[in-house]
Chain A
Amino acid sequence: MSTEKYVYMDQAATTRISDRALRAMMPCFTEDFGNPSSLHGAGRDAEAAVEQARARIAACFHAEPSEIFFTSGGSEADNWAIRQAAALGAKKGKRHLISSAFEHHAVLHTLEALEKDGFEVTLLPVHENGLVRPEELEAALREDTALVTVMYVNNEVGTVQPVEELGRICREKGVLFHTDTVQAAGHLPIDVKAQNIDMMSLSAHKFHGPKGVGALYVRKGIALGNLIYGGGQERGRRAGTENVPAIAGMAAALEESLEDREAKNARTRAMQRRLMDAILQIPCTRLNGDRDRRVPGNLNFCFEGIEGESLLLYLDLEGICASSGSACTSGSLEPSHVLLALGLPAEVAHGSLRLSFDETNSEADADRVLEKLPGVVERLRSMSPVWKEQHADQQSFGEKRE
């Protein structure tokens, strides 16, 4: 299923829809096209498609169907969970929120907006390895903490947070725990009960489902406020006619992703090792994020002396699609907040490269990256004044660089 046009190593940005998910969607456009709220047969068929998808998605996480609320994606689910959990807390005079320093902007910007509304936010450090420490969460919890939200897998460096333990600490203190599982769902097993998760955000396009659809899991008994007022869809909490094809596609993609997950992960893990070992041979290159406690399909490097956007553009010229946390790719002057949270100096953080891959990538994809990347790094360094100043001695004497 790898697209021949490119070597696609940007699966954390989005994925190609799987054939099975696409097949599941098609009848919802053409046959079961009714409005799920309608009483007639066409409506009932569409409603059945939505409810079946809800049940199947819930089963993947050991949740109840009534605990799944469809949204337009991960960002919406994050916004909904955090804003409404904050509102719940505020009713009881709790105006303190805890998160981590390297959350997705869907979380961080929502928290910033709440700060302007008078909430107080504590961001837990993620340290050099990109991991939140449970004891630091314990120390940060207060009487007036309304919500803790920590992502399951970081989207840039792929580190896997100790969600079960974070959830247990929150449960013991009676504080709501939300986790953004956008980069974890479909890749790692998730059990909302065993892992003490109160709320979690999902997005279909990260596991070979369609874009523009996701879900929020809300544990039964949490009286989370509504997101959109209107009709009675999503039990009145998120009004608007359901995106039936996308919902059906999401369920099919999720189930497919989780089939033979261990075997797929083992294969992806092997590709990760191979790429990592070879790329770390490039001089003055570092791996960002913990070496072992990361998802199998993520690698993130910094190459000293070069800037990330130009690295991406040169890889693009070779037909390789990847991503970077450089400032110039985002249109701001600050490099990635994730890499800065890991403690990297700004000038190093500018030169980052994220490769994200999965079972749909072939060994030939990895071959191509390994064939092209060292030359591209070399070429950019040869025109970099920063690199030349730092490595003037090695350059002129042709000595090996450390």
Chain B
Amino acid sequence: MAMTYSEKVRDHFAHPRNVGTIEDADGVGEVGNAVCGDIMKMYLKIDDGIITDAKFNTFGCGAAIATSSMATEMIRGKRIEEAEKLTNKAVVEALDGLPPVKLHCSVLAEEAVRAALEDYRSRNGNRSGT
């Protein structure tokens, strides 16, 4: 019953991309809670409606770290409107799948991106770009 992660998950877990914080982020989103065991915090830099940088901090399992890493990769360079459409399904597919019991951890990545974009919009009077 050992849980096996795909090579891609293992790679993103062992070498997570975009770990860190952005001091002057334009949008920050934090989701999850420590009681459930996974927390994700996403930082976005947005320029002219385009996500120019994305970084994350995650407290969580291997799946949580790998999905955070993959999600930041998938939204960097994207327009806000595109990034908003990111689903956990797309993140999981990009990672070549997750064990079924781990799917709930991947939902956080989608939610963290949404939360950071929401934060950006509320700071900018709900406009989609600056």
Contacts and interface: CB of A to CB of B under 8 A. Distances in A.
A306 B104 CA distance: 19
Interface string A323-345: 00011110101010000000000
Interface in A349-383: 350, 382-383
B62 A313 contact: yes
A313 B58 contact: no
| Size range of the chain A interface in the assembly | 20 to 34
Interface residues of B, number: 30
B37 A383 contact: no
A385 B30 contact: yes
A33 interface: no
B105 interface: yes
Contact of B63 (A305, A328, A347, A387): A328
Given A331-B101, A383-B58, A388-B57, A307 B37 contact: yes
Contacts of B58: 383-385
A84 interface: no
B65 A328 contact: no
A45 to B, nearest CB: 37
B59 A305 contact: yes
A307 B59 CA distance: 6
B60 A307 contact: yes
Contacts of A313: 13, 62
B100 to A, nearest CB: 9
A329 B102 CA distance: 10
Looking at A306, A310, A329, A382, which has the most chain B CB atoms within 10 Å of its CB? A310
B59 A346 contact: no
A307 B57 contact: no
Nearest to A328: B61
Interface string B28-40: 0010001111111
Contacts of A333: 36-37, 104
A122 to B, nearest CB: 27
- Among B13, B35, B59, B101, the one with the most A-chain Cβ atoms within 10 Å of its Cβ is B59
B45 interface: no
B37 A326 contact: yes
A386 interface: yes
Contacts of B114: none
Interface string B43-80: 00000000000001111111111000000000000000
A310 B60 contact: yes
A347 B34 CA distance: 5
Nearest to A306: B59
Interface in B10-30: 13-14, 16, 19-21, 30
A305 B39 CA distance: 11
B104 to A, nearest CB: 8
Contacts of B36: 327, 333, 346
B102 A328 contact: yes
A contact face: mostly helix, strand, loop, or mixed: helix
A310 B35 contact: no
Contact of B61 (A305, A309, A383, A386): A309
A313 B37 CA distance: 15
Given A383-B19, A385-B30, A327 B37 contact: yes
Nearest to A351: B59
Contact of A335 (B37, B57, B105): B37
A346 B105 contact: no
B99 to A, nearest CB: 8
A314 B61 CA distance: 11
A318 to B, nearest CB: 11
A388 B59 CA distance: 10
A317 B5 CA distance: 13
Contacts of B62: 309-310, 313, 328
Contact of A350 (B37, B40, B65, B101): B37
A384 B35 contact: no
Contact of A347 (B3, B35, B104): B35
Contacts of A326: 37, 61
A308 to B, nearest CB: 8
Given A327-B36, A328-B63, 12 more contacts: A307-B60, A328-B102, A329-B3, A331-B101, A333-B36, A333-B104, A347-B34, A382-B19, A384-B39, A384-B57, A384-B58, A386-B34
Interface of B: 3, 13-14, 16, 19-21, 30, 34-41, 56-65, 101-102, 104-105
Interface of A: 305-307, 309-310, 313-314, 317, 326-329, 331, 333, 335, 346-347, 350, 382-388
13 contacts: A307-B64, A309-B62, A314-B14, A327-B37, A333-B37, A346-B34, A347-B34, A383-B65, A385-B30, A385-B57, A385-B58, A387-B59, A388-B21
Q: Which 8 A-B pairs have the closest CB atoms?
A: A347-B34, A328-B61, A331-B101, A309-B61, A385-B41, A385-B57, A384-B59, A346-B35
